[in-house]
Structure 1
Amino acid sequence: MPASFTSESFTPDRLQVEGPFPAKGITLASGQTLPRGAVLGKITASGKYVLSLAGASDGSQTPDLILAEATDAGAADTATVAYMSGTFGDDALTYGTGHSYATAFAPLRDVGILIVKPLS
């Protein structure tokens, strides 16, 4: 199913600190409703994305992308958009169980995503 887009007002959320912010279309696996800024991991076998959990063993335990828009995939796999690179504020990210700035920084840096801590 192709991604659909709507127009709405923008309220700054401190997610994006510095760009550009290249994004790509992805499939979010069913059974999850995630906010903008969720740290995603890719399931190796299916190529679908889920909230990255440190204890997973399907490939998704490695943080890989940042979800660009809130997405409801509760009922079915859903097409959405995720950031592939850029600089993002740690306090605006949603980490899965077992992940934090400390565990996500290096794998995200390796794919071109930098997480920064707020100054104040």
Structure 2
Amino acid sequence: MPATLTEDRFSGAAHYIVSEANGMYRSREQVVIASGSGVLKPGTVLGKITASGKYSVYNPAGANGTETAAAILWEGCDATSEDVRRTATVRDTEVHADVLAWGAGVTTDQHKTDALTDLASSGIIGR
């Protein structure tokens, strides 16, 4: 009997994208996920650390730049003990807001609304 492959439809790379800018690569950039960010799923909302320019999980209570949502992780990664280079959505994209992954600091719907407002300033629009 053949093996059955089961995939979580909310876990694949870029599963959150509705549409991207013409030429698609215009919407993406290579970014560095800061060491200590942990194991992150595709679709994790990220903030940009002001001092280093690296990215980490969006944290509405942060005071280092991560309190402002700036990107969405294209593919998962493990940045527990070292910096990791990954692709992120940084501009001009429509996304499925209901499938985005959120860090532990996002505890209310208002946090999500604030993050989506931040992302909208870069043309990342939640649907």
1:81 aligns with 2:87: yes
Aligned position for 2:116: 105
Identity of paired residues, percent? Answer: 32
More divergent stretch after superposition (49-58 vs 21-30):
21-30
1:24 to 25, 29, 45: 29
Larger Cα-atom Rg: 2
Residue among 31, 35, 43 paired with 1:37:
43
Q: Runs of 5+ in structure 1 lacking a partner?
A: 1-9
The runs of at least 4 aligned residues of structure 1 exceeding 6 Å deviation read none
Determine the structure 2 residue equivalent to 1:95: 102
Pairing partner for 1:58 from 59, 64, 70: 64
- Residue pairs, 1:1-12, within 5 angstroms: none
AA aligned opposite 1:89: H
TM-score between both structures, scaled by the size of structure 2: 0.76
CA RMSD after TM alignment:
1.7
- Range that drifts further, 41-50 or 88-97: 88-97
| Alpha-carbon distance in 1 for matches of 2:126, 2:63 | 24
CA distance in 2, matches of 1:19, 1:111: 13
Aligned length: 106
The unaligned stretches of length 5 or more in structure 2 are 1-6
Task: Quote the residue 2:73 is aligned against.
Answer: 67
Matches of 2:29 and 2:56 in 1, distance apart? 15
